[in-house]
Homo-oligomer: A and B are copies of this chain.
Amino acid sequence: MEVDGTLLTLLGISAGILILMGWVEQIYKGYKTKRLKDVSKFLMIFIAAGSILWLLYGIIVSDVFIIGTNMSGLILMIIVLGMKKRYDIRANASQSE
């Protein structure tokens, strides 16, 4: 099948943007509710680890798109992990009062 490079690039970029938008929405929801208790810490740790490997992959094949999406994915994971830690501590503190 004759593969159209532009179509592939478009597919890859839109998929990457959609996934990032999902995490931005999760951050917004967490910020609004100040609660991320149900979000699994390991989900974010595993996804961050996966993003690091994809980042390596992107650097090796010098694909700026893969590097860009996974760098931003990694930053979003670190933000959500930080928020979750803060809100979980706060929730536990208010429970023990």
Contacts and interface: CB of A to CB of B under 8 A. Distances in A.
Interface residues of A, number: 41
Contacts of A22: 40, 42-47, 50
Report the copy number of this chain in the oligomer: 2
Give the secondary structure class of A's interface.
Answer: helix
B57 A18 contact: no
Nearest to A4: B60
Interface of A: 1, 3, 7-8, 11-12, 14-16, 18-19, 21-23, 25-26, 29-30, 33, 35-40, 42-47, 49-51, 53-54, 56-57, 60-62
Sort A-B residue pairs by CB-CB distance and give the 6 closest, nearest first. Answer: A22-B46, A15-B53, A38-B38, A19-B50, A18-B50, A25-B42
